[in-house]
Structure 1
Amino acid sequence: MFHPARVSEQIPVEEFTKVESIFVRHRNVLAVRAQFTPIYTDYYLHLMQHQLRNPPELDGMLKDLLAALTLHVVARPWAETIAWTVNLRAPRVNFFATGSSLEELVTGRLFTENVREPDRNLFYSQTTTQPGAEPRTSTLQVDGNDPLFWIEQYYTQSEQRPCRAFRLEDETYILFVAQPDYDEEWFAALDEATAATLERDQETKLLETRRFRFRCGCDLDRILPILGGWRDKPEELFGDEDKITIQCPRCAARYVVTRDML
């Protein structure tokens, strides 16, 4: 839920969300864990800056999706940019989230207007390894309205290996990804309680730590070229208005565009 006062109470917080990659010895499982308060604080400040407000239930789902994508990006090889779009039948909404491993950034938004109603919930993933390269895409049907369940279904169908994802206390999330010859019985029995006491009960090794934050990087200089097709026909874009408001397709940031800007 969007609580501006609560955001101010959280400041100051760490500037980055620290994402830890942990190898669970003797289980052959990778655990990726992070506490997301810094990312969520930036996310709410972004909403306040652009006078945006998301419905509470959808807001919580988007935050879960941002967490799941961040952990997935760290579990994947370096130099990947990954974008997820989830088109739900009910509620009729599109979720979008994208993250960059090299830039250590994640952003996302909701689309609640003019959303196509699918005959089933669809999950789209697009992975790009370098600028200009053809992205690798996959599409699958997902069940339910829990983003952590979506990522488990995604791993089973697209990554061809299982994963488990959990919400822990204090806005902490953890993703377990099976590696070759993993302990299937231990993996299947994972739950929030065992995830919360991972280092106490298992032999682990911290492999690396990365620092992520919520940031899109959009600005008017990047938004205006999208409108280049209307340069010779501004009346179709502006109608009788002297200015319009454009939203970033990645983060929903609002920008005012005037006729002379084209």
Structure 2
Amino acid sequence: MNHLARYQRFLDLENHLLVVRGGIAPVIAGMHAYHARHAIEPPRTGLEPLVRELLAATALGALSLAERESWGWSLTFEGMDTGFFAGVEPEGMVCVRVREAETSKASVMVQRQKAGLPMTQSHIRPQTASPRGMVEQYFAEVAQTRVRLEIAGDGDGVLVHALPGGHFDAVEAIGPGGLLPYFDSAAAAGRLKELGEVVLFYECRCSDEMILDMILGMPERDRGELFGDLPQIGIECPRCGRRYTMARTDLSVH
């Protein structure tokens, strides 16, 4: 499989902190290939830096946990007419969707689910139009955990996650732009213990069956309005924008 992003998890031995380090650039390349393969219109050119930061920040956040979960981030930022969805799956799949949004409804909804357990849902109001700041805010307000992220323009990033008894103050004092070189130097000096590697790639879990189940889950009246008098319709995956064709007869056999 091409376009694999390799992320490493480390333990900062000196300060007892969890460190997640990696670059999202291969996933962005995979996104472009996925869009071309499925004829999905890519995000507007001016939005790519924000999409890159969003995928980098949400990936780092998901990989900072001891147990892998399914994450879904639905968000809009104040003053923007664009909203976003970003998903990170336990198997390493990452996807994003850009959509129209109402500027008056700046919000972030985070859905998390462990295998075999119910989904949890949280809401925060973003304080800045920064995906990095959004992830830090989520961990502070909802998870009540201190984290710090730094993401370079190319999507290279690091997340530092406070552990019980750890010295988080050591990284809070580092100025903007200093976190990446600090931990790269710490790794080179042997002050970080590697805990493992995680591979991420761009893909969506959507399928014909998932889209059909989504339609079948709608009230009958809404399904009728969706199809109208048409024998078939085109419908986009809400997670990645891939377009599916569903025939009315597909519903009748279920």
- TM-score over 0.5 for the alignment? yes
Alignment correspondent of 1:139? 123
* Runs of 5+ unmatched residues, structure 1: 1-12
Match for 1:143: what amino acid? Q
Following TM superposition, by how much is the alpha carbon of 1:151 offset from its aligned partner in structure 2, in angstroms?
1.0
Alignment correspondent of 1:9? none
Contact 2:17-2:162 within 8 A present in 1 as well: yes
Following TM superposition, by how much is the alpha carbon of 1:15 offset from its aligned partner in structure 2, in angstroms?
3.8
Seen in structure 2, the aligned counterparts of structure 1 residues 124 and 232 have a Cα distance that, compared at 3 Å, is closer
TM-score normalised according to structure 1 size: 0.82
Contact 1:104-1:212 within 8 A present in 2 as well: yes
**What do you get for the CA RMSD once the two structures are aligned?**
2.5
Alignment correspondent of 1:75? 64
Superposition pairs for residues 101-120 of structure 1, below 5 Å?
101=90, 103-112=91-100, 115-119=101-105
Seen in structure 2, the aligned counterparts of structure 1 residues 238 and 136 have a Cα distance that, compared at 3 Å, is closer
Distance across 2 between alignment mates of 1:143 and 1:160: 17
Number of corresponding residues:
245
Following TM superposition, by how much is the alpha carbon of 1:219 offset from its aligned partner in structure 2, in angstroms?
1.9
Distance across 2 between alignment mates of 1:109 and 1:193: 31
TM-score normalised according to structure 2 size: 0.85
Seen in structure 2, the aligned counterparts of structure 1 residues 185 and 51 have a Cα distance that, compared at 3 Å, is closer
Which string of whole-angstrom CA distances, capped at 9 and with x for unpartnered residues, describes residues 39-97 of structure 1?
11111112223231212333322221221111111111224212111133320332111
Distance across 1 between alignment mates of 2:29 and 2:157: 16
Alignment correspondent of 2:77? 88
Distance across 2 between alignment mates of 1:208 and 1:198: 16
1:99 to 71, 88, 100: 88
Which string of whole-angstrom CA distances, capped at 9 and with x for unpartnered residues, describes residues 192-218 of structure 1?
234224242461111110111111121
Distance across 1 between alignment mates of 2:68 and 2:148: 24
Alignment correspondent of 1:255? 244
Distance across 2 between alignment mates of 1:169 and 1:117: 25
Alignment correspondent of 1:5? none
Following TM superposition, by how much is the alpha carbon of 1:116 offset from its aligned partner in structure 2, in angstroms?
4.4
* Runs of 5+ unmatched residues, structure 2: none
Contact 1:17-1:213 within 8 A present in 2 as well: yes
Query: Is 1:215 the counterpart of 2:199 in the alignment?
Result: no
Alignment correspondent of 2:181? 196
Identity of aligned pairs, percent? Answer: 21
